A and B are shown apart, each in its own frame.
Chain A
């Protein structure tokens, strides 16, 4: 489904972007309409593109069925596919109401390096990823519990050690 640039002008991310750049962008992205309940991305499916939500609302569901958050117009979902085309979806995303998305494929950035709409998408992505890292760091700090000394219990079998917080912090910070 082709996308008209006027569908993008309503999003804050594209404020100030020249119409010519939005028009050029629309030659490389396409629209996708989702009915309420329809799945956009299935967990563990190959990740080949990302979607910019234009209207409606999406929800994110993890493997155990727990819905962990909503996505609103202007938000980008599935962005990992823009960096790793061999990856897989780490959550299921579905439409809570009839929704419309702009599908973005990884090659967009190489094809339109000087397009201001693409610059806007990249800046939007930076902010989104930074927010997620900060949120994870904040949760990590809340759960930080220094190891308490335990009294020895002769005869008790040794319990398997749980994942160390230090190891998790290392990985959160991208160095594990």
Chain B
């Protein structure tokens, strides 16, 4: 048993609980993913690039940035372990929606598209673990987005760091976002 992977697995399950999830299964999933050690400033993925990997942040912190219409870079947030990064690109083949940069030393596990495709289509415990972990993460993301669009209280989430300035958004825009969340249109 790999102690660090086991503790990481338990942390992931605590952050993204799902039916049938066990530390053993999550650890098995992590063991299939090569480790990547990042230094401060290392770019994990770039906005608008095509993604062939997703990442599981096991240690450290990364900054998530995005370009506005003028090309200026805005720091959206920082993510701290445990967290999933870049999974949408594997699910829907679309381009990266943000740039992710290591903020200090960080460690991720890399799940490439080939492994993702094999597991995602597989009626095995490993495949179920990956699918359900992703579903749990996406569900949390949608729940928070819906709460934001409807101005309802958000559930707390530990381990997050918020930095930066704010911009203005009009009330009618939040309804458009709410519609998109509900229908995907």
B92 touches A131 (CB 8 A): yes
What's the least CB distance linking A113 to chain B, in Å? 5
Distance, CA A138 to CA B5, complexed state (A):
36
Residues of A within 8 A of B37 (CB): none
Taking the closest CB of chain B, its distance from the CB of A82, in whole angstroms, is 8
Asked whether any CB of chain A lies closer than 8 Å to the CB of B127, the reply is yes
Tier of interface size on chain B: 35 or more
- A132 CB contacts on chain B under 8 angstroms: 142, 180-184
Q: Is there a chain A Cβ closer than 8 Å to B43's Cβ? A: no
Residues of B within 8 A of A123 (CB): 120-121, 131
Q: Are B168 and A135 in contact (CB under 8 A)?
A: no
Q: Which of B26-34, B102-110, B146-154 contacts A (4 or more CB under 8 A)?
A: B146-154
Q: Which residues of A contact B121 (CB under 8 A)?
A: 119, 123
Hey, which bits of chain B sit against chain A, CB under 8 A? 18-20, 64, 66, 68-70, 72, 74, 76-77, 79, 88, 91-92, 94, 97-98, 120-125, 127-128, 131-132, 134-151, 154, 157, 160, 162, 164-171, 173-185
Known interface pairs A83-B135, A165-B166. Does A131 touch B144 (Cβ–Cβ under 8 Å)?
no
Contact check, A171 vs B144: say whether CB atoms are below 8 A apart: yes
Q: Are A109's CB and B173's CB within 8 A?
A: no
A-B contact number at CB 8 A: 209
A98 contacts partner chain B, Cβ-Cβ < 8 Å: no
Q: Is A170 a contact of B185 with CB atoms below 8 Å?
A: no
Q: Which residue from chain A places its CB closest to the CB of B98 in the assembled complex?
A: A173
For B64, what are the chain A residues with a Cβ–Cβ distance below 8 Å? 173, 175
User: Is the pair B167, A147 in contact by a Cβ cutoff of 8 Å?
Assistant: yes
Question: 1/0 per position for A130-151, CB-CB distance to B under 8 A?
Answer: 1111111111111111110000
Given contacts A114-B124, A139-B177, contact A164 B169 (CB under 8 A): yes
Is B183 touching A68 in the complex (CB atoms < 8 A)? yes
Cβ contacts A to B, 13 pairs, < 8 Å: A69-B179, A80-B142, A80-B143, A129-B142, A130-B92, A136-B145, A146-B70, A147-B166, A162-B169, A164-B168, A166-B74, A167-B148, A172-B144
Q: Is the CB of B167 within 8 A of A164?
A: yes
Give Cα distance in the complex from A106 to B139, angstroms. Answer: 14
**In the bound complex, do residue A163 and residue B19 qualify as a contact, i.e. CB atoms below 8 Å apart?**
no
A147 CB to closest chain B CB (Å) equals: 5
A154 adjacent to chain B (CB < 8 Å): no
Q: Which residues of A contact B77 (CB under 8 A)?
A: 170, 173, 175-176
| Residue pair B92, A127 in contact (C-beta under 8 Å) | yes
A150 to chain B: closest CB distance in Å?
Answer: 11
Contact, CB under 8 Å: B74 / A69: no
Question: Are A139 and B176 neighbours in the complex by a CB distance under 8 Å?
Answer: yes
